[in-house]
Amino acid sequence: MVEREDGRPAYQVGDVLKVSCSPARTLVADDRGSYISVEWPWEKADPDSRFRWNGQVAFPVDPGSREWSYTLFRTEPSPQYLNRGDSCSVSIPETLVRVIDILRHDPPLDLGRVPRPHTRLVVLPVDASSDALQEDEAATIEIESAAPIAIELVEPA
């Protein structure tokens, strides 16, 4: 575990973080009306998993949908303009978030893909209203993700 200069864990509930992920090119694998699925450019299927992950991640087409807040990742162009077979990029635009929970998994969490996460940060955008501080409406950041996610501590708790 990475630590801060004062010996505390690298991330704590209440921290404000700046997160981003540089874009990766991929293809739209499926178009089901209210969702598109893209071939995920980073993690791979876990051959030892009890789950069979198809290598795809779904994005809601409607940016006003509740599911939109569940991920920090975005497609370019936006999902409502994409169809099966289209090329797009997936990234995390630079975003300020507040850590509202930290989930630790020992053994690492089996999600059907590798790497299996040991630690996930549950986050909400800093501009989210206090009424929205519900974990079930938050996004997660997998610390061990294969995606090149950049995390910068902006304001410690």
Position 2 in a domain? no
Work out the number of other CB atoms within 10 angstroms of the CB of residue 36. Answer: 26
Position 110 in a domain? yes
Cα separations (Å) of 157 from 9, 93, 141? 11, 23, 18
Position 38 in a domain? yes
Looking at residue 1, what is its pLDDT?
45
Contact 145, 44 (CB under 8 A): no
Q: Is pLDDT of 3 > 60?
A: no
Looking at residue 71, what is its pLDDT?
86
Looking at residue 5, what is its pLDDT?
62
φ, ψ at 58 (rounded to 5°)? -95, 145
pLDDT digits (tens, 9 = 90+) for 107-143: 999 999 999 999 999 999 898 765 555 556 789 999 9
User: What are 134's two structure tokens?
Assistant: 């519900």
Least trusted range by pLDDT, from 26-30, 75-79, 92-96, 130-134: 130-134
Number of domains in the chain: 1
pLDDT digits (tens, 9 = 90+) for 144-155: 899 999 999 999
The pTM (predicted TM-score) of the whole model is 0.87
Contact 14, 99 (CB under 8 A): yes
Gap between the Cα atoms of 136 and 157, Å rounded? 22
Position 124 in a domain? yes
Contact 134, 125 (CB under 8 A): no
Q: Is pLDDT of 90 > 80?
A: yes
Q: pLDDT band for 67, please (50, 70, 90 cuts).
A: confident
Question: Dihedral angle at the C-alpha atoms of 26, 28, 30, 32, nearest 10 degrees?
Answer: 130
Looking at residue 66, what is its pLDDT?
77
Looking at residue 64, what is its pLDDT?
79
Q: Provide the residue range defining the domain that includes 131.
A: 16-155
Position 7 in a domain? no
